[in-house]
Structure 1
Amino acid sequence: MEGIIKEELKCIEEMHNVKILYACESGSRAWGFPSKDSDYDVRFIYINHPDWYLSIDDKRDVIELPINDLLDINGWDIRKALKLFRKSNPPLQEWLLSDIVYYQKYDFINNLRALSSEVFSPISCFYHYLNMARNNYREYLQGDQVKIKKYFYVLRPVLACKWIEQHNTMPPILFKDLVESTLSEGALKTQINLLLDRKIQGEELNLEPRVNVINEYIDLEIKYLEAYIKTVNFEASDPTSKLDELFRKTLLEVWSS
């Protein structure tokens, strides 16, 4: 599959006259709990030719391929990526942490990673994960019968919030690392690990009776996290000049030859 993905990325470069700087896996595969039928969520950052940026008109800064049952591939222009990075965009921060890297060239992504701690906003990331947890919990896990696999899409953001509270840094991307670092041994952790084992082994985790110990934990934590974030103050420095410099440096590195 990796070969197919790399071929698709090469076609994107040729079709759109861009250079891809970085491509990685996002979603359940990167988080460590793919299903047997999970698609590949490929995300990439690319750079256009310098002339593309010298225009009085705004241009589309996203490249997306049609989604099919196997592949979901889309990417952001470097300027869009840097603007979102300046806001500590959590999905982009997760791309930088992905263990599944399909392509990396030039110095851009290493330079971007070096700035991650400087631009990280605990409040921005906390609210991103908290809202994800609340929305998924409300939509999928309220009945006596629930979509069991949706527990991962609530627990992961809840545990990410707990990590930010405790460490004030971007959370690990792997779900199992979050579980190990934030939860003590006991019935809750045991139930979560049982579900994780079932999902990784390819079981169809559809409608089943709710897992009360997990629901009770989520209920309590969401209420706690909602109260906690209101007490947090954070003053962010402005990294714009450094990101401008990185943008110009990357343009020269990629296109000077």
Structure 2
Amino acid sequence: MKECRELKSPLVYRADPLFASEFGALAVQFYSLRRCFAHYLHMAYGNWRDYLRVRDEVSLKKYLYVFRPLLACRWIERQLGQVPMLFAQLVESVLDEADVRAALAELVARKQAGDEMAVAPPVEALRRFIEAERPRLEALNEPDDAAGEVEELNGFFRRYALAA
């Protein structure tokens, strides 16, 4: 399965229609489930290792830095297409564990209330999920796919980034 929609960020600060058109075409050609899966898994591992593993107190915000990529891997594993930008959509679509959902909902509510820098003892439901899900995902074979040749991307980069 190879799918890619154009950039789907809910925030657009500046739009260049020609850039968006060219980039969108390249995104379709180069979108790689295998590379996305590997990237998200590496991101989850790095954030877990750096911020959550073997700590008496953790930054609650850092859980979100681990959960988004783990849930993105689940999304790819379930062959649901391009990973959505919105965290809530990931949770709703691929997180079946009710206790983990409840703990994440509490974290998101705290973050939205401005309490995102809070430090606390590890949240047991979240810790258990990460300790089980990360190795499970690592044991999976990455999706098999192929992307285009990088010279076309290099040309695009030179036209836009180096010309600025």
TM-score, length-scaled by structure 1: 0.53
Contact 2:70/2:133, CA 8 A, preserved across alignment: yes
SS of the counterpart of 1:103? coil
The aligned residue for residue 144 of structure 2 is: 234
SS of the counterpart of 2:83? coil
TM-superposition CA deviations, 1:107-166 (whole Å, max 9, x none): 221332244233111121111111111111112112232111100100011111111111
Question: How much does 1:188 deviate?
Answer: 0.9
Larger radius of gyration: 1
SS of the counterpart of 1:96? coil
The aligned residue for residue 128 of structure 1 is: 39
Aligned pairs for 1:131-142 within 5 A: 131-142=42-53
With CA pairs under 8 Å and 6+ residues apart, which has the higher RCO, 1 or 2?
A: 2
Q: Distance in 1 between matches of 2:16 and 2:142?
A: 38
Note closer, same or farther for the CA distance 1:105–1:202 as it changes in structure 2 (3 Å cut): same
The aligned residue for residue 118 of structure 1 is: 29
Q: Distance in 2 between matches of 1:221 and 1:153?
A: 15
- Whose strand proportion is higher, 1 or 2? 1
Q: Distance in 2 between matches of 1:130 and 1:106?
A: 33
- Whose helix proportion is higher, 1 or 2? 2
What residue ranges of structure 1 are gaps of 5+ in the alignment? 1-92, 252-257
Q: Distance in 1 between matches of 2:107 and 2:84?
A: 20
What residue ranges of structure 2 are gaps of 5+ in the alignment? none
Q: What letter corresponds to residue 163 of structure 1 in structure 2?
A: W
TM-score, length-scaled by structure 2: 0.80
Alpha-carbon RMSD across the aligned residues, in angstroms, is 2.7
Q: Distance in 2 between matches of 1:169 and 1:115?
A: 17
Note closer, same or farther for the CA distance 1:105–1:233 as it changes in structure 2 (3 Å cut): closer
Q: What letter corresponds to residue 125 of structure 1 in structure 2?
A: C
Among 53, 57, 61, the alignment partner of 1:145 is: 57
Among 124, 127, 132, the alignment partner of 1:215 is: 127
Q: Distance in 2 between matches of 1:168 and 1:108?
A: 27
Q: What letter corresponds to residue 11 of structure 2 in structure 1?
A: I
Q: Distance in 2 between matches of 1:168 and 1:239?
A: 25
SS of the counterpart of 2:34? helix
Question: How much does 1:238 deviate?
Answer: 2.4
The aligned residue for residue 188 of structure 1 is: 100
Question: How much does 1:241 deviate?
Answer: 8.0
Give me the identity figure in percent. 38
